[in-house]
Amino acid sequence: MNLIQEYIELIKTCALTDYGDKKSVKLHNKSVGKMYEIAEKIGYEQTKETIEDFANLLEINENKTNVWAAVHILERIPTHKIIEEKALRIIKQQADGESAEAMGFKIWLDNYKRK
């Protein structure tokens, strides 16, 4: 399994998280940590998968793959303006609204803009 496929599998694990179950939450957190590791390896070109391969995840809506990838690109992967702008658009869409999740993305965007 290549790293992109592994990343997608980790997202599926996160999508199935039962927040009422400690084991499930622990698995979710472990999966997110592994996703960051994969993003960093690809970002620092330590893999056969390229940054462009990773950026293709921005096209996949299933299990919010595009949202996870957008966050990881903006936080951990040095990339060109076009990919960065696309990732930011995805995050801004998530921040639109009044839900708890939207509020979390608004805070994330504020922090990102301060960097």
**Count of domains observed in the chain:** 1
User: Which residue range forms the structural domain that includes residue 71?
Assistant: 3-114
Reported as a single tens digit per residue, the pLDDT across 50-86 is: 999 999 999 999 999 999 999 999 999 999 999 999 9
Residues 6+ apart with CB under 8 A from 57: 4, 7, 8, 65, 66, 68, 69
Q: How confident is the model at residue 115 (pLDDT cuts 50, 70, 90)?
A: confident
DSSP letters of 23-63? HHHHHHHHHHHHHHHHHHHHHTT-SSS-HHHHHGGGG--GG
At 8, phi and psi to the nearest 5? -60, -40
pLDDT, tens digit (0-9, with 9 covering 90-100), for 2-39: 999 999 999 999 999 999 999 999 999 999 999 999 99
pLDDT of res. 55: 97
